[in-house]
Amino acid sequence: MKEVIGISLGPAAQDFSFETRWLGTPLRVRRLGTDGSAARAARLLRQWDRKATAIGLGLTDAARPAGRKVRTRSAPPDAAALCALARHARVTRGEELADLFMEWAVRHTQQTLGSYFNNARVLVLSGQQHFKVAATLAEFTPNLQFADALLQLGVPKMLSSLDGLQRYLAGAHYVTDWTPPALMQSGPLQDWTRFVLRRALAKAHVLVAPVHALDDFGLEELAGKTVVTAGVSEARLAALRDKGVHLVVDAAPEIAGHAVGPALLEAMLLAATGETDPHALGADAVLAAIEREALTPRLLYPNGFRRVNRFAFVIHPLSQEYFKKVKPIEVLSRVAPPVAMDTLEKIMAYAPPFVYSRVTGIRSPTGVEAEGWLISVGGTPREIMSHPPEFTYRRLLDAAELARRLGAQIMGLGAFTKVVGDAGATVARRASLPITTGNSYSASGALWAAHDALLRLNLLPKPRGKGRVDFKAMVVGATGSIGSVCARLLAKVAQEVVLVAPEPAKLLALKASILAETPDARLRVAAQADRLLGEMDMIVTATSGAGKKVLDIMKVKPGCVITDVARPLDLPPEEVAKRPDVLVIESGEIELPGDVQMKNIGLPKNVAYACVAETVVLCLEHRFEPFTVGRAIEWEKVREIYKLGLKHGMKLAAISGVNGPYSDADIERVRELALARRAERAAKPARTPRRRRTASAPDAPAAAPAPAPSRRLASPAAPPTTTPKASRATPKKAPRPASARTRRANGG
């Protein structure tokens, strides 16, 4: 049986030994720690020189004192001297094998866990020692920092790129030529060095470090981190558990229940193959050993499975009222003339993006968590639409760069930021991280909410079997991103769908496209909504009208459900108040899973807009991709995001209107008012058309219309608990209310 010895500068308390048949060769393997003593390592090397077939030296130069020059990646003098002490045994340090396994560990994690390192903030303690790992991580994230200059020279600044690290390693900085080593090790400067290191570590998501270097950090620095290292023993894993580490990526494979570091592993390989020179071990021999012994890096969760993905979402003020929530501006708005607020609105459109709120506490039933940032740009819808698209593109790209630096892995666009120009396509193409508009889930949430509202109102006849539901639907803004996909989905279930937009050519093309997908759909097209409003059971408004009137609510059928997807809303509160017999809901807000912590966005706790929820769902699913961009939304993606939302615990929030969530009593009140209004209409006799005078009856008087009962509903100003009485005296006929001139809605 061949003897294989591993000599490490690590603690002797972690020594182990085992016997195994490895690559068909019986081996007795021992690990011997020296507690950091090079002298003891030398004695052990001499002791085992004639007894061992191969010896692995687990030495590192990562902890060299500040002041030592760094010019090449060659072994430090003490390691070279130790290796020279052996006369008979084959001695190796396993450097090439260490690079291979560390790189493999990173790629294995990225593939197994799905885009795990995408845009992560990574701190590498020694880029000199882990250059290969750093180059691999650079394929997945640009957010790299290296502590070489800080730890070796005491320079209080991190290297922030691979190019900077290469220049440093090539000798571009000769600070040590004039810096006294004694000064570098003095108390104040050493404390400052540790402060800079801890601050960088606090912002990092991933730490790449030798296993022994982890002993210097505590809970404050390592909590929530992913650690990439090699050779984590059970004792060290327990310590990392107490320090709150989420994931340990251990490049050292496990053999016979022990983590075997690269030096000892290469010594085992030399002993088993009979090779005398470590450099003569080719890649084929290493690959053959890995395959035959089924070696693999280890993914260890010291505190159970934890994964936290990161997102960003862009918001913006919807009106000047949002500025007034800021205290200094609130005071100004009271005393300043309106023109001052108009000027402020124009100025804020040029403001750089900033983080409005941190978002934490989102936790999927799968165990995956999400955290993120709400990033605000300053333009209101009026300002956004008054500038060319490139103006908004630049601000969104600045927001994307801010999100990248924060470590976000995907960014969503909210409100008018996804309307302008080509609906996110240009931003997605030019941004440094994936972009989604959230429109797929917005469409899903809108129809989800409308379906729930229709069920709760219970005014429609139940379908027979799997037939279509007997209701008519209208989509205002049908040629827009959300409107078109709502139309496609409604065409599959409704008896009839009316497509409304002020763009006839696009309407005709949309109709043909829907009929190609759903040949039995009944579709009508219109440039104006008002003519057909009285027939509709459901209306979806999805325009970018920015305050323009898109329909006359006084012409809507009693009991109709109107889902207002637009932001700002297509139907302001004063319009909604005119029809208490109509259920107007503000799209479909989504309840996020977990205990969500973020600043107020005008919604109840844990509730977010559907476009925000799409970004969160993709984040939880590790789908860091431009899921929804452009104006052509695929209904398959609407269905997919709906299913993914259910998987991750998304729920339809309470149906809300302009005055907040609707209770069961509120919906029952709308139902009663709608039934009463319908009864009034049914009881009202049809008008007799006035006869025209003809030649045969020149003097025939025109027939007077029969008196009709009042069409007046409960006053909009009445309290919401007011219910129409069962019987009432027929008042005098009220004059027909004058219809406001309808304005064209922007279907985009």
Tell me how crowded residue 77 is: count the other CB atoms within 10 A of its CB: 9
- Provide the token pair at 580: 């208490």
The span from the CA of 441 to the CA of 367, in Å, is 22
C-beta of residue 438 within 8 angstroms of C-beta of residue 635: no
The span from the CA of 145 to the CA of 125, in Å, is 8
Predicted confidence at residue 688, as pLDDT, reads 55
Burial of 259 (0-12, 13-18, 19+ CB in 10 A): buried
The span from the CA of 158 to the CA of 128, in Å, is 14
Phi, psi of 494 (to 5 degrees): -90, 155
DSSP H or E run through 194: helix 187-203
Predicted confidence at residue 330, as pLDDT, reads 65
CA count, 13 A, side-chain hemisphere, 425? 8
C-beta of residue 598 within 8 angstroms of C-beta of residue 612: no
pLDDT digits (tens, 9 = 90+) for 388-415: 999 999 999 999 999 999 999 999 999 8
Predicted confidence at residue 467, as pLDDT, reads 64
The span from the CA of 612 to the CA of 40, in Å, is 60
Question: Could you tell me the pTM of the whole model?
Answer: 0.79
pLDDT, the chain, mean: 84
Predicted confidence at residue 216, as pLDDT, reads 84
Residues with Cβ within 8 Å of 96's Cβ and at least 6 positions away in sequence, in order, are 278
Predicted confidence at residue 185, as pLDDT, reads 54
- Provide the token pair at 550: 């898109």
C-beta of residue 496 within 8 angstroms of C-beta of residue 489: no
* E strand segments, 60-219: 90-92, 122-124, 144-146, 206-208
* Residues lower than pLDDT 70 in the chain: 60-78, 172-187, 326-328, 330-333, 463-467, 545-547, 567-568, 587, 685-748
Q: Can you tell me which residue has the tokens 């998304």? A: 650
- Provide the token pair at 155: 């320079």
- Provide the token pair at 730: 């027929």
- Angle formed by the axes of helices 439-457 and 481-490, nearest 10°: 50
The DSSP secondary-structure symbol of 407 reads T
Predicted confidence at residue 62, as pLDDT, reads 37
The span from the CA of 21 to the CA of 29, in Å, is 11
Predicted confidence at residue 687, as pLDDT, reads 59
Predicted confidence at residue 640, as pLDDT, reads 94
- Provide the token pair at 80: 């070279």
pLDDT digits (tens, 9 = 90+) for 334-379: 777 778 888 888 998 999 999 999 999 999 999 999 999 999 998 9
Predicted confidence at residue 694, as pLDDT, reads 45
